[in-house]
Amino acid sequence: MKTADNRVRSGTRTNKNWIAVVLVALLIGCTSQPRDDLELSREAYRDKLQGFWLGQSIANWTGLVTEMDKIGGEGPHGEFYTREDWGAPDQPSIWGKGVPSELSATIDWVLKPPGDTWGADDDTDIEYIYQHLMFTQETSILTAEQIRDGWMRHIYADEDTPFTDHDGKPENYLWVSNQRAFDLMKNEGVLPPQTSDPELNPEVDMIDAQLTTEIFGLFAPARPDVALEMAYLPIRTTARDNAAWAAEFYVVMHSLAAAVDPDVSRKEQVRWMSSRAREHLPEDSYVAKMYDFVQSRYLAGVPWEQARDEVYQRYQVEQHDGYDVSSRGLYCNGCFASGINFVASLVSLFYGEGDFQETVRIAVLAGWDSDNPAATWGGLLGFLYGKAGIEGEFGLEFSDRFDIHRTRRDFPNGGIDTFGNMADTGLAIIDRTVTELMGGEINSQSGQWVIPEAVTMGAADAP
């Protein structure tokens, strides 16, 4: 997401006291889901966490090639890509000034071999910050003050960033709601969740929360109720209502990824996770109706390109189901909005059918802020496949080095980390979550977590 036009810098409001009772987990609809103790191997989960970071990085950087190339409307940016464009020349983005992506001349995989380094982006860096904060603060649930202090320490302001954009302007790698929340914390003393008060932050229905909080689902394996409790405040640092529910949909899916039946197909695993996450969405919300619409087109057997085109017509042109972003006269017709990117992500989710490469290819070609849905599903499927599975899928070995200082600051080792170390950090967080929030235990002899009241894939859910 790149444009200074979307930044909002003004507004003053006295900070309010936060009094919130977290009831969101009650919406999960777990009554139809089997619940029992679940034993999970920490070592196997470690490979899956590495797969999450690797899959997310592959998909993120591949998606950046087509980010904001196609957003609908008049002119070349309204001529959406199709499957025939994979491997074809990349076309300029809305801010590309007629120049294709510098990452790749063609729409194809962006991969890093051993010895190279994956750079952070806004799809990975805030999640990295939250993981670091939970580990160093030894907590399972971040407070408003911890979120503020972490943002202030690790995120540059425009005034002190060493980075510039293509026009030579300061670049701190924050946009829309993230930028506004940062400004409120830094300049006005406002704390989450008031940073997503629509009167203070008019960007709360933008995409930010749904690309920065998926990881909380992985911190609470097979317990979406606990995952939602952990993610509640980080999500509401930047989002409310439909944008928050979209983010929670992703969190629930990531939590349930630990509980799939390994003996069924990836297609059935993803079908189960998504249908359970759909139960969390309020029936009168536009995100729920978006899910139902895309699912109906998938079940009707229309090609994914047709489903995507119908999504554009239904939501950006005709503004059905209460989605009215187009009527607000926003830059690029609200191409950074949570809703249009959420529904675009559902196209790749359904039509990708759990296949890593196919899902990411569709996400990359679907349009709008394409690196974001690609990164979300790349991370989720990367977790399901594991690091070894992703490398096997491509028949290649990839770099496991990660540079958080590409976008953020003040981390150990000059910002260079590895997916293995990042997975170990995640395991330590889950150890605490299992014992403190779930009332579970760690079996030191078998190296397994024992997770009580786990939501698992039952016989009724199997194909």
- The average pLDDT across 381-388 equals 99
For the chain, give the percent of residues with pLDDT over 70. 91
With a cut of 80, say whether residue 426 has pLDDT above it.
yes
Residue 95: the pLDDT is 87
Mean pLDDT, range 161-182, rounded to an integer: 96
Which tokens hold the place of 94? 């809305």
Indicate whether 206 belongs to any domain. Answer: yes
Q: For residue 215, tell me if it sits in a domain.
A: yes
Q: Which of 207, 144, 244, 174 is nearest to 340 (CA)?
A: 207
pTM of the model: 0.93
User: What DSSP designation does 368 have?
Assistant: S
Indicate whether 31 pLDDT > 90: no
In a domain, residue 423? The reply is yes
CATH number assigned to the domain comprising residue 95: 1.10.4080.10
In a domain, 244, yes or no: yes
Q: What is the residue-averaged pLDDT of the chain?
A: 93
**pLDDT at residue 166 tops 90:** no
Task: Please state, in angstroms and rounded to a whole number, the distance separating the CA atoms of residues 433 and 210.
Answer: 22
3-state secondary structure of 1: coil
For residue 245, tell me if it sits in a domain.
yes
User: Cβ(68)–Cβ(332) under 8 Å?
Assistant: yes
The per-residue pLDDT for 96 is 80
Burial of 353: CB neighbours in 10 Å, binned 0-12, 13-18, 19+: middle
Residue 15 lies in a domain: no
Indicate if the pLDDT at residue 9 is higher than 60: no
Q: What is the DSSP pairing of strand 448-455 with strand 416-418?
A: unpaired
pLDDT at 28: 44
- Contact indicator for 151, 182 with CB cutoff of 8 Å: yes
- SS3 of 339, please? helix
DSSP states along 131-159: HHHHHHTT-SS--HHHHHHHHHHHS--TT
The residue-averaged pLDDT of 308-313 equals: 99
Residue 22 lies in a domain: no
Domain limits for position 105: 32-461
d(CA 217, CA 236): 16
Burial pattern 39-75, b for ≥16 Cβ within 10 A else e, equals ebebeebbbbbbbbbbbbbbbbbbbbbbbbbbbbbee
Q: Domain count for the chain, please give it.
A: 1
Q: What is the pLDDT of residue 125?
A: 99
DSSP state of 316: I
Confidence category of residue 33, pLDDT binned at 50, 70, 90: low
**pLDDT for 27 beyond 90:** no
State pLDDT tens for residues 261-299. Answer: 999 999 999 999 999 999 999 999 999 999 999 999 999
The pLDDT value given to residue 54: 99
Residue 389 lies in a domain: yes
> Quick one: tokens of 169?
């302007």
The secondary element (H helix, E strand) that includes residue 38 is strand 35-41
